A and B are shown apart, each in its own frame.
Chain A
Amino acid sequence: MTTPTRREVDPITLEVIRNAVPSISDEMSAALQRASYNMMIYEVRDYCCALVMPNGDLISQNVGGVSHFVADLGVIIVDAIKRHGLDGFDPGDVLITNHQAVAGQHLNNVVVYVPVFVAGELECFSMTRAHWIDVGGLSTGFGSGAPGNDPWIEGLQLNQLKLHRAGVPDESLLQVLRDNIRFPESSLGDLRAQIAACRLGADRVEELYLKYGSEVVVAGIDQIFDESEARCRAVVGEIPDGVYEASSFMDRSAGPPIDLHARVTVEGTDMTIDLSGCSQQRIDPVNARTLAGSMVAYKCLTTPDDPVNAGSFRALTTIIPEGNIMMARFPAPMANWSLVLPTVIDTILRALAPTVSDRIPAAHLGTLGGIVVFVGKEPDTDRPFVLMSIEGGGWGGRPHEDGESASVSVCQGDVRNASIESIELRYPVVVERRQLRPDSGGAGLHRGGLGVEVEVRNLVPGRWALMQSGRNGCPPWGLWGGGDGMPADNLLVLPGAAPERVDNARQEVPSFARATIMTAGGGGWGSPFERAPARVLQDVIEGAVSVEAAERDYGVVIDPLGPAVDEPATAAARRADRPSLNDA
């Protein structure tokens, strides 16, 4: 690689490269998704595809699936070069890694990548990271763990291994994989899809580099980074200089709450997000090594619709000291590595709400969705199965409108729930209902969106994953006088027993138990007493708000016959003391 002088690429070629580069990662993404074997990839889209320079700079990454996979593959390449050397790769190599000392996520997230050579020169790496349904240990499903775990209990650790050397597969390594994971058919199918996607990316890169010449493409990419940076700076430049702070927390059944604190400093066009005030790493598996919290928040604030590249984050400084829950030292357990991220992101946004009030919604569900996981065995074949679905929740009220209901978190983009019919076609369960949760949205001038509740009856014995969200003590907050959203919850009804709340990642159950998974609503924005009574009436008619909540939270008295707004009673109620609610 050469270091090109600035601005040597003509604007036309530059625009062509700008269009071509993201289309490569998008094409890789489509290929991986459609050929994958587990719903974490084809529905949840818990994967990413990227092109990364040998220095770790991100050239391009697909957008759409899991948004907290953002510019996070560079560290793996920096580490790979350190180990193998710049000349330690051959065409036809395929590498695999999930090792937490560098990758910093749960072991289910397996990174597969290939070096890309153009005319004999190493130009970049074509990479995919995808959530395997199982990597041994306790990893089945979403990778749930218990306090006191370590990475060896969590699953199989793969540390920057060459799966293929110059095109020749390492059969011993493949055998190790096959023998140490519970669903080898699924995961090795995903592996095949990942390798094919990486090779596709490599082919496209080669075409592009050969067509325009490596120097031109590299110079163009460099220029695109500069422009991405400039766009972000332009947005941050409009935010008044200052230091902005906010705090929140997540409660845990084991141990003290996880404290979260964001300190955002804006100085000219530079932004620093300091997460030093967040808890230290824990013995329970909620640790990670990730900058995703600050990066997702920054991306949402600055250039949400632009492709992601290394320039997207150059004007952002993130401070997370070693030993912090998001910069945990190996071998901290990481099975639930992304648990804190949605709340961290909301906390960063909340810090900025007073200064850019027209851009910040109230808090959203704040978790990675309602996680529906049931593990059992098919009655006829005794084959093990894992049912998984991710249910969305409520998003916060916005400065100009209500929050959306039943949508996945800020860390998830094009992530879909599993349809009732496909669940029942595949697995011995019956989905009794999937509904919006009335009254779950925080009251407000602009109401928070509603959470979801799903009830599933298992027809065979098995194991439910029913963890509490950790957001009961600090539910999704309202802004500017808006009320909090209703927190997530879950209930289990064993045959012949009363419903009980559960907080257990591995709840064994007999046949015919019923589990209900409920997601949180979003916080409200602005005082609910300023919401037009006609809107509240409409909420009541649609079932989003109950008659009781209309009166209690909005001061709107509804005559259920009609239904209609009882105007005099409403006027009286709204004259009375307003409930004390959140300030921003």
Chain B
Amino acid sequence: MTGGVSLAVDIGGTFTDLIAYDHARGELRHAKSLTTPQDLVEGILDCLELSGSALDRTDALVHGSTIAINTVLERTGAATGLVVTHGTRDTYAIGRGNRPDAYRLFFKRPKPLVPQQRTFEVPERMLASGEVELELDEEAVVRIAGELRDAEVDAVAVCLLHAYANPAHEQRVGEILRRELPGRYVSLSHEVLREYREYERTSTTVVNAYIGPVVGRYLEGLQTRLEGQSFAGTLWLMQSNGGVASVAGAAHKPVAMLESGPVGGIIGAAHVASGLGFRDVVAFDMGGTTAKASLIRDGVPSVADGYHVGGYSEGQPVRSPVVDIVEVGTGGGSIAWLDEVGGLKVGPRSAGAEPGPIAYGRGGTQPTITDANVVLGRIRADGFLGGRMALDEAGALTGITEQVAVPLGLDPIQAAHGIIEIAIAKMALAVREVSVARGHDPRDFVLLASGGAGPLHAVAIARALSLPKVIVPRFPGHFSAAGMLVTDQQHDLVRTILAAAGENGARVLEAYRSLVADASSRLGAGAADARFEASVDMRYRGQDFSLAVPTNEEELGEPALISVRKRFDEVHLRRYGHQAPDEDAELVNVRLRVVVQRDKPSMRLQAPNGRRDPTPRRVAVHLDASGDAAEVALHLREQLAAGDRIEGPALIQESASTTVLSEGDSCEVARGGELVITLLEARDR
């Protein structure tokens, strides 16, 4: 890639963020504008203008969007029909029968996206072995197509029993429906997810069909608008799995872009940390309403096989690889409040961006984490958003005093400190959940902090969990967009096989090779540059949950699969603290990840320019709960040069964030401008 520009655009609910990398000049620029819901492209064009980038010079535009997830959450998708195997019309409505809110008499079950009367049974039956028990009644499919037409559906999901084992009937149903219902979006379960468990596969396929027409129209419109603005490069869509897909790929499987928004930052975290030599990382992002933690091991973000859109209790299950994120309701806007028995709580209610914290002066009346930071002097009224937004310090102090400190018999500084301490404890639990709780030693990991509020609290969280180092990347407040620039094209395929591990090497290898063939035909010429990563899901005979075991084609060629089996025992031991090498093990699924690398900006070579003030201003900050403020140095991030060292206590302030160092912590500015902080406790090691 020469001379061109790479763009990444993250369209969120409130703001559209753009990061532009000019390959010729080696420049990285950022712009932010208000999201324009009526015409999202307007927001992109605004950003382009602000950043001084030109679409006609742009080779690649990576786009992360919340359109897919919002369509599900707001239930604004297509009128969708569902075709299932005879006897299973209600499988989707019945679900798994569970009630996660165990003591709630008025619990809610997930609300199906397809009503009962648009669900049709077709006579046919496959067995788990893939053998046909009952042939497909094709005439019935034609009749059903007529009823779907009468019901004026725009999309149809098809999920037949055991289609993961033998998709022949599903394929035939698909052919008939596409013939009979031209122009409708038809989604077949084995194309979306070739994995057993009919409810989860049905739900995933239904979500795919439900959002298919909406996402398709959006992508088409976006492409047309961009081309109208002389864009001749490639449009890439950010996927939940951390990779990007082409417009055609995303339109075929929109369910894979549900978490398009937040994952960019995690990919960016892996990239930035790897560039600094750190391969084991906890990516930590704290925004206005929530904080998120994700694990990166050996440079690779951990990926879950699925999740529930809208929460575990009431949400729609979706089985599609998604960067594994643990989220807690603790963001800068989280409200501190006292419950009915006088306990101090922080979040999950948030003042959001409107009215926002008291300090924003936009009508917020309840004290938030941001207000506590203002009271403690960690967020400076004079430097917020580069000085463009004034902060109401007095209001924040009054709010915390009246609503928290006085009722609890504390002084305001203790109260503000307490709010932050509680928030840090909650966020530390999230970080712990992705690290310690999964069998990893936190002392081997570094914390990479992003989000506007992330750098404020990162050092304290790292300290609470004994992580030795914290990294604050450049553009921490716009890091999701920045991360999108360094993504690769990535596809995840799966096939259920369920076989004893000891004797089925040939079968497993065959399944793997068919996945490779599938992927290669999908990629076409691009397959030549692709990297193929194999893994198998394994468990001990009798277990249900399986663990992913990384492997390769050579190992899958072993008749008794001894290498894979041995690695599974090790993975089980690390994850759960015990293993059973003498017991039978089973292979459940074979997985293939295909990665095609894209050209990336070398972000770490971006050195900031600016001269550091030799005698930084000293400001009063409360770093602990004692009543006394300490005088600490206030550094401006844009003035820091590679190689600079800063000893704590100190504040490092930038436009959208502030980094807090405590006594004894030491910060070094890396070549790319990242802050690399070594905690006091780790300095002697």
Contacts and interface: CB of A to CB of B under 8 A. Distances in A.
A300 B498 CA distance: 41
A15 B104 contact: no
Given A15-B345, A33-B545, A392-B94, A421 B99 contact: no
A27 B544 contact: no
A506 interface: no
A130 B635 CA distance: 56
Nearest to A196: B577
Interface string B332-362: 0000000011111110000000000000000
Interface in B634-670: none
Contact of B103 (A63, A193, A391, A421): A63
B87 A63 contact: no
Contacts of B426: 19
A4 B161 CA distance: 61
B340 A231 contact: yes
A349 B105 CA distance: 10
A430 B133 contact: yes
Contacts of B102: 63-65, 67, 412-414
Contacts of A544: 116
B105 A361 contact: yes
A359 B198 CA distance: 35
Contact of A39 (B99, B544, B580): B544
Contacts of A390: 97
A435 interface: yes
Interface in A173-190: 183, 185-186, 189
A10 B342 CA distance: 12
B313 to A, nearest CB: 9
Interface stretch (B25-33, B106-114, B177-185): B106-114
A36 B546 CA distance: 11
A275 interface: no
Interface centre among B89, B115, B417, B576 (most CB of A within 10 A): B576
A15 B97 contact: no
Interface string A143-184: 000000000000000000000000000000000000000010
B620 interface: no
A294 interface: no
Contact of B540 (A19, A189, A195, A359): A189
Nearest to B201: A421
B197 interface: yes
B162 A421 contact: yes
B278 interface: no
Interface string B525-548: 000000000000000111111000
Nearest to A304: B103
A543 interface: yes
Contacts of B498: 425
A200 to B, nearest CB: 7
B583 interface: yes
Interface in A322-374: 349, 359-361, 369
B117 interface: yes
Contacts of A34: 545, 576
Contacts of B503: none
Interface in B173-211: 196-200
A420 B437 CA distance: 32
Interface string B99-143: 111111111110000011100000001011000010000000000
Interface in B18-71: none
A230 B544 CA distance: 41
Contacts of A35: 543, 545, 572, 575-576, 578
A11 B96 CA distance: 41
B96 A417 contact: yes
A398 B128 CA distance: 40
A406 interface: yes
A231 B103 CA distance: 15
A404 B422 CA distance: 37
Interface centre among A16, A193, A416 (most CB of B within 10 A): A16
A564 to B, nearest CB: 14
Contacts of A244: none
Contacts of B274: none
B88 interface: yes
Contact of B161 (A360, A408, A420, A452): A420
B663 to A, nearest CB: 20
Nearest to B580: A189
A27 B197 CA distance: 26
Interface in A437-471: 452, 455
Contacts of B116: 541-544
A420 B117 contact: no
Contacts, number: 218
Nearest to A306: B103
Contacts of A377: none
B506 interface: no
Interface residues of A, number: 86
B521 interface: no
B90 A369 contact: no
B87 A434 contact: yes
B304 interface: no
B328 to A, nearest CB: 10
A299 interface: yes
B517 interface: no
A391 B97 CA distance: 7
A281 interface: no
B103 A415 contact: no
B343 A42 contact: no
Contacts of B164: 421
B343 A408 contact: no
Contact of A192 (B115, B162, B437, B578): B578
A12 B422 contact: yes
B226 to A, nearest CB: 43
Contacts of A11: 342-344, 408, 410, 418
A432 interface: yes
A192 B97 contact: no
A405 interface: yes
Interface centre among B95, B341, B410 (most CB of A within 10 A): B341
Contacts of A186: 542
Contact of A419 (B133, B197, B341, B576): B197
Contacts of A31: 576-577
B552 interface: no
Contact of B425 (A16, A361, A541): A16
A118 interface: no
Interface in B540-576: 540-545, 572, 575-576
Contact of B90 (A412, A432, A435): A435
Given A407-B99, A452-B94, A420 B577 contact: no
Given A406-B93, A416-B97, A421-B162, A30 B196 contact: no
B91 interface: yes
Contact of A434 (B90, B540, B575): B90
A30 B115 CA distance: 34
B103 A296 contact: yes
B97 A304 contact: no
Given A11-B408, A35-B545, A541 B343 contact: no
A111 interface: no
A433 interface: yes
Contact of B197 (A63, A296, A422, A431): A422
A542 B115 contact: yes
B99 A189 contact: no
A425 B128 contact: yes
Contacts of B421: 12, 16
A37 B575 CA distance: 16
Contact of A42 (B345, B418, B545): B545
Contact of A424 (B127, B343, B541): B127
7 contacts: A36-B543, A193-B576, A406-B109, A407-B99, A422-B197, A430-B125, A435-B90
Among all A-B residue pairs, the 7 with the closest Cβ atoms = A413-B102, A433-B87, A392-B97, A12-B418, A304-B103, A416-B96, A37-B542
Given A11-B342, A230-B341, A419-B196, 5 more contacts: A11-B418, A16-B425, A34-B576, A392-B97, A543-B116
